[in-house]
Amino acid sequence: MKINIYYGGRGLIGDPTLYVIKKMQEVFEELNVTTERFDLYDIKNAITTLPKTLKEADGVILATTVEWYGIGGYMQQFLDACWLYGDKEVISKIYMCPVCMSTTYGEREGKLNLTTAWEILGGKPVSGLCGYIPEISMLEYKPEYDRIIEKKSENMYRSISQKLSTLPSSNQAVKQKISVTQNVDLTPQETEQLSMYAANEEYVARQKEDIKELTGLFTNKLENQEVDDEGKYIDEFKDVFKPQAGINAIYRLKIKNFKKDLIIKVANAKLDVYYGQSEYSDVKLELDSDVLDKIIAGENSFQRTFMSGKMTSKGDFNLLRALDNLFPFVI
């Protein structure tokens, strides 16, 4: 049997959590249990690779100290790594004992957070330890506290050796609904390799620079990818044109990625549609080509498109409302 201990405190002299896990290790040694301790503060640059150390463990102890609020950044980072890179099938078989000592306030909340996190990961939590210990002497000169620690250690040993079952928890349903593995189709081995890359600061920095460079490249390419099709839409507007008495207007349609604007000149019963530049226009419209396609297909009108925010307009709004009468694409 092997038990891994992950310590998320800062390793300060007088940390009560260090006293507790040391006592637990002594009990496990008497029971011929192999223990291995990982001080997260000492290996903070490699925390993302630690989920692979769970493979050989039958049980784990998540131990941390609440110094002012919460379980601390190192422990949270380790739990994040388990969620992102850990083998959920392996974790589902591991028993976890939470240990949370507080020098201020919040030991119960800290213990609950560790238990909840392990349940969401799919693991099996067992009864843990929590306490308010402002001074380490409170533990050192209280034999009854040592007996409590020994009892919890023995209970964890029995849970693992007897493979005790735990009742299902609603927290475990979270893993099935939002697990990152549903969106990233990676094997446990590939995920483990990914965690090693994530722990390499130089690799991550280089990847960020590459992504930034590629983003700029494709952004410029898209911005410069203008459509050179000056015959598009002209016939469609001419085919449905319905003259309106008293309407004399110049409409300028700025279509995204088109080199030139679509100019529509209406003078009573006369219509002129072409691509070009017009210094003056009564109404200027801006929209995407797919939005204009839906208008021409009769799926939408100019007025509804403007009201939905998919098209912007500047100029005479009375002339804007007249567009649907001049070009009744919607029947």
Which range of residues forms the domain containing residue 248? 234-326
**Where residue 67 sits, what CATH number does that domain have?**
3.40.50.360
The count of residues in the chain is: 331
Two tokens, residue 128: 């843990």
Two tokens, residue 245: 């008495």
User: How much is the pLDDT for 32?
Assistant: 96
Are residues 240 and 188 located together in one domain of the fold? Answer: no
Q: Which residues pair with residue 102 across a beta bridge?
A: 66, 132
Q: Which helix (H) or strand (E) holds 59?
A: strand 59-66
Are residues 39 and 85 located together in one domain of the fold? Answer: yes
Query: 322, 316, 321, 246: which is closest to 284 by C-alpha?
Result: 316
Q: What is the 3-state composition of the chain as percent helix, strand, coil, each rounded to the nearest 5?
A: 50, 20, 30
User: Do 54 and 100 meet the contact criterion of CB atoms below 8 Å apart?
Assistant: no
Say if 216 falls within a structural domain: no
For residue 10, give the 3-state DSSP assignment.
coil
Domain end marker among 152, 176, 199: 199
User: How much is the pLDDT for 181?
Assistant: 45
**Distance between CA 119 and CA 172 in Å, rounded?**
5
Phi-psi region of 39 (alpha: psi -120 to 50; beta: other; left: phi over 0): beta
Query: 127, 162, 164: which is closest to 148 by C-alpha?
Result: 127
Are residues 114 and 36 located together in one domain of the fold? Answer: yes
Query: What are the pLDDT tens digits along the chain (331 aa)?
Result: 999 999 999 999 999 999 999 999 999 999 999 999 999 999 999 999 999 999 999 999 999 999 999 999 999 999 999 999 999 999 999 999 999 999 999 999 999 999 999 999 999 999 999 999 999 999 988 899 999 999 999 999 999 999 988 777 776 666 555 544 444 556 666 666 666 666 666 766 777 777 877 777 766 665 555 545 567 889 999 999 999 888 899 999 999 888 889 999 999 889 999 998 766 889 999 999 999 999 999 999 998 999 888 999 998 888 988 999 999 987 6
**Distance between CA 144 and CA 152 in Å, rounded?**
13
Say if 224 falls within a structural domain: no
Counting the structural domains of the chain, the total is: 2
User: How much is the pLDDT for 269?
Assistant: 87
Cβ burial of 96 (10 Å; 0-12, 13-18, 19+) is buried
Say if 244 falls within a structural domain: yes
Are residues 188 and 240 located together in one domain of the fold? Answer: no
Q: Terminus-to-terminus CA distance in the chain, angstroms?
A: 77
Say if 61 falls within a structural domain: yes
Q: What is the dihedral of CA 58, 36, 8, 98, to 10 degrees?
A: 30
Q: What is the DSSP letter of 329?
A: -
**Where residue 298 sits, what CATH number does that domain have?**
3.30.1050.10
Are residues 309 and 180 located together in one domain of the fold? Answer: no
